[in-house]
Structure 1
Amino acid sequence: MSKVIHEFNDIIRKLRKDCFGKGPERIHTVFVENMAITKLYGNLTPTERFITSTKEGVEMVHSARTKMIQDMYAVKPPSNMEALVGAKLVHLFSDMKVEEDIAVSVFIFDKDITQEGM
């Protein structure tokens, strides 16, 4: 199971790097029933860190990051992610605490993705 989680994290890291120019420095994922719950640390680019020096900048980065991630997965869910877990991605919930540079994503699949459910 840890190999699957490692590969899952690599997919997320690559997608975010391709989208934002920088992937998270650290990712921690757990599989629970039909969900993958992922915490991402060290997400912001140097430019985003500069922008977040004001309250308006924090709001702008938060809005842009969460909307872009949700739109990216809604338009084209990564087929390699679905193939890896053997299930179709049906929902993604994502949020970010910009001040602490921590994000969380909850991927919901159409069936159990745990070892027992695969």
Structure 2
Amino acid sequence: MSKVVHEFNDIIRKLRKDLFGKGPEKIHTVFVENMAVSTLYGNLTPTEQFISRSVEGKDMVHAARTRMIQDVYAESTPDGMEELIGAKLIHLFTDIKVEENMAISVFVFDKNITE
């Protein structure tokens, strides 16, 4: 199972690196029933960190990060994710806490992925 978690994290890291120019420095993922819950640390680029010094900038970085991830996954599931997990991704819930440079993503699949 740890190999699957590692490969799952690599898919997430690559997508975010391609999308934002920087992937998370650390990802911790657990599989629970039909969900993969990923905590991502060290997400923000230096520019985003600078912008987020103000309240308006923090709100802008939060909205952009959250909306872009949701839009990308709504358009298509990342290459190899469903094949790796053996289930279809049906929902993604994601949020980022800008001031702590930490994000959470909950991937909901169409069947139990822990078996």
Relative to the length of structure 2, the TM-score reads 0.99
Equivalent pairs counted in the alignment come to 115
Whichever residue aligns with residue 23 of structure 1, its letter is G
Shift, 1:79, TM fit: 3.6
Identity of aligned residues (%): 73
CA distance in 2 between counterparts of 1:77 and 1:43 reads 20
Q: Which amino acid aligns with 2:75?
A: V
**Which residue number in structure 2 is paired with residue 110 of structure 1?**
110
Aligned match of 1:54: 54
4+ runs deviating over 6 angstroms: none
Match for 2:77: what amino acid?
P
Gaps of 5+ in 2: none
Aligned to 1:16: 16
Unaligned runs of 5+ in 1: none
CA offset at residue 78 of structure 1?
1.6
Q: Which residue of 2 aligns with 1:100?
A: 100
CA RMSD of aligned residues (A): 0.5
Moved more, 70-79 or 27-36: 70-79
Spell out the pairing of 1:19-58 with structure 2 (5 A cutoff). 19-58=19-58
1:29-63: CA deviations, max 9, x gaps? Answer: 00000000000000000000010010000000000
